[in-house]
Structure 1
């Protein structure tokens, strides 16, 4: 369904993007730091699985666009590329101020924490826009089965996010302290993410 080049290229980009400081992974770190490893891991799993809803929307949207008009699909890729470039520039301009903050509030059951992470990710419009911008870059219409390609990419993103968020939750104490003490580390992660976003955006626009 996906060629090795598609899969590993997408996986590498997805891992770098998932590790870059952002609301989801910082929330997972904060949850783990304040509530404990298990709570951080469960919340992170909820956040990761929330990506499945965005995968469904992207699969339906990309497939419909290709069926309706190749020109419309090209327009989506160009707009998506511009959006990724904008995200990259924002990350490159960041000074590494992202910090994991302890999550305040009453203790909640693991099921409620899982549902909270799932719901927070599923209703985030920025994640919807990101998926519609990011996934089409790795879809090759000439290979056929566009819907299955898009779905496989989305599931791959979800799976690696679940693994990485789980690790972030488990090692939240150590990672959180490291980021708190080192602005350089946070800035370095932002620079890497920014470079990846800009490169992906340019590739998305040029390789049409």
Structure 2
């Protein structure tokens, strides 16, 4: 049920780059770690990962149903997804990543409340839903009889790799945040790497559909 290694390797590379690129998730759990302590940061990471698992389940069931019911529409979804990835690449270069971290202690919250906030950050964010809906299907074939398992496996791998990286960042929150503030070029380099990988995926897909 696992994806082919030829698909899994570039997918893993993309996930690593996405996890390291500053964005709303990173701002959230780093902010909690810096203002409320390491335990709050870890709870925020767990909540964000839970939210992504919910998106993974919804995409797995919804997209797989689309494959069975309307393969042509699924192909159209993949092409639309490729165009969306190109747009994300352009936005990363044009605007850059945002990492606006609080410098003052925040109000204390329970770990359960922080976890719930992490879940909400991803579940209630339409951009996250759109990203999962367009990113994961790029790695599944329209005629794949194991689409549900493939999509869920990819989504789970996405969450596991991303959470592992995020946990490491939280454990070194002070040094990581200070380093990002001192070296904005690092974040800018991640923007370009993020854009390059997504543009390559999108171009490959679009060229394949025009042959």
TM-score, structure 1 as length reference: 0.93
Aligned runs of 1:110-129 on 2, under 5 Å?
110-129=111-130
Structure 1 residue 155 and structure 2 residue 144: aligned? Answer: no
Instruction: Write the deviation string for residues 64-114 of structure 1: whole angstroms up to 9, x where unpaired.
Output: 211112210110001111111000001012355544334764201111111
Q: Structure 2: where are the runs of 5+ without partners? A: none
CA distance in structure 2 between the aligned counterparts of 1:11 and 1:47, rounded to whole angstroms? 19
CA distance in structure 1 between the aligned counterparts of 2:98 and 2:49, rounded to whole angstroms? 24
Structure 1 residue 138 and structure 2 residue 136: aligned? Answer: no
CA distance in structure 2 between the aligned counterparts of 1:42 and 1:97, rounded to whole angstroms? 22
Aligned counterpart, 1:78: 79
Instruction: Write the deviation string for residues 132-161 of structure 1: whole angstroms up to 9, x where unpaired.
Output: 110011113444211110111111111112
TM-score, structure 2 as length reference: 0.91
Q: Residue 168 of structure 2 aligns to a residue in which SS? A: helix
Aligned counterpart, 2:21: 20
Structure 1 residue 107 and structure 2 residue 108: aligned? Answer: yes
CA distance in structure 2 between the aligned counterparts of 1:193 and 1:13, rounded to whole angstroms? 8
Q: Which moved more, 1:27-36 or 1:170-179?
A: 27-36
1:31–1:169: 8 Å Cα contact kept in structure 2? no
Aligned counterpart, 2:64: 63
CA distance in structure 2 between the aligned counterparts of 1:31 and 1:71, rounded to whole angstroms? 44
1:58–1:132: 8 Å Cα contact kept in structure 2? yes
CA distance in structure 2 between the aligned counterparts of 1:47 and 1:104, rounded to whole angstroms? 21
Q: Structure 1: where are the runs of 5+ without partners? A: none
Aligned counterpart, 1:45: 46
Q: Residue 101 of structure 2 aligns to a residue in which SS? A: coil
CA distance in structure 1 between the aligned counterparts of 2:162 and 2:114, rounded to whole angstroms? 17
Q: Residue 207 of structure 1 aligns to a residue in which SS? A: helix
CA distance in structure 2 between the aligned counterparts of 1:74 and 1:33, rounded to whole angstroms? 44
Aligned length: 208
